[in-house]
Amino acid sequence: MKKALVLAAACALGLGVAMPAQAGGFNVKRCKACHAVNKDKAGPAWKKVAEAYGSAEALAAVFKSGFKVEDRKMIQKEPKWKSKAGLMTGQYKKMIKGHEDEAAKALFDAVARGKI
C-alpha cells in the first residue's frame, strides 16, 4: 500500500498534477471554500494565520485546547473575524478535532507552498 501511494505521488508530480496540501490523514481541500493562502475570503488568509501563530505547534496547541474564541489570535488582531467564530467552531468540530497536529502542519505547508 505504501509503495502504491509513493508511486501515485511520483506520477502526479511527473504529470504536473498539484497534490493538495495534507499532513497525515488531514486534507485541506475542503478548507478552500473559506480560506486562501494570500488573501482573505470568508476566513482570514492562511499566511496571516501562520504569521500570528508562528509555528504549527503553536496553532495545534490552540486546536488541542478546544479552539476557544478567546485563544484565536486572528480575532485579537482583526476583530472582524469574531463574527465568523461560530462558523469556524462548527468546521473545527467536523474537520479538525482529532487531527489537530495534522491540520496545523497542513496549514503551514500550504503557506510554504503558496497554495492550498
* Structural domain count of the chain: 1
- At position 109, the amino acid (one-letter code) is D
* Cβ contacts of 34 within 8 Å, gap of 6 or more: 41, 42, 43, 87, 88, 91
* Cα(115)–Cα(41) distance, integer angstroms: 14
pTM: 0.76
Altogether, the residues listed in the chain come to a count of: 116
Evaluate if residue 29 carries a pLDDT over 60. yes
Instruction: State the average pLDDT over residues 12-23.
Output: 45
**Predicted local confidence at residue 26, as pLDDT:** 81
**Predicted local confidence at residue 28, as pLDDT:** 86
Neighbours of 113 (CB within 10 A): 12
- Three-state DSSP class for 78? coil
Domain ranges, residue 74: 2-113
Q: Residue 1 — very low, low, confident or very high, per pLDDT cuts 50/70/90?
A: very low
Instruction: State the average pLDDT over residues 71-96.
Output: 91
